[in-house]
Amino acid sequence: MAATNNIVSRCVISRKAEEENGGSKFGELSRRVMVLFTNLCIGDMIPCLKWLDVITGFIPRLKATAAELDAFFDQVIEEHHKALKGDDEADKMDFISIILQLQKDGLVEMELAQDNIKAILLVCQKLCF
């Protein structure tokens, strides 16, 4: 499973999901997102008890993880923008690089905002984890 996650992660963002030393921000964030998605959210089932999710800490953990994931994706996209402006664009072509290159060349019918690219990355993350 770790090998598959690393392969998909390398293809999408040019980084391993898990490093040899066991540390990786992407792998850690992915695990936290999966844990939060599998947790019971009382407010979704019984809307009048939504306040319990705040008291149990589910909502603050969800917001904190979402903010960290958003910042991580911003960083990754910015790194890819810088790489496209440099000379090393042919060296590392991954999914994000391809999307940004297509957009730069005008081959995409609609303009993809950074939030659109982050949404695509989030879907890719869910598929591999």
What pLDDT, in 10s, does the model give residues 83-115? 888 765 556 688 888 888 888 888 878 888 889
Summarised one tens digit per residue, pLDDT across range 26-57 is 778 878 888 898 898 999 999 999 999 999 99
Model confidence at 129, pLDDT cuts 50, 70, 90, reads low
Six token digits for residue 1? 């499973």
More confident residue, 35 or 3: 35
Cα separation of 68 and 18, whole Å?
Answer: 17
This prediction's pTM: 0.77
**What average pLDDT does this structure show over 50-76?**
92
Backbone angles phi, psi at 40, to 5 degrees: -80, 125
Lowest average pLDDT, out of 40-44, 86-90, 116-120, 124-128, goes to 86-90
Q: 105 vs 13, 78, 99, CA distance in Å?
A: 20, 18, 10
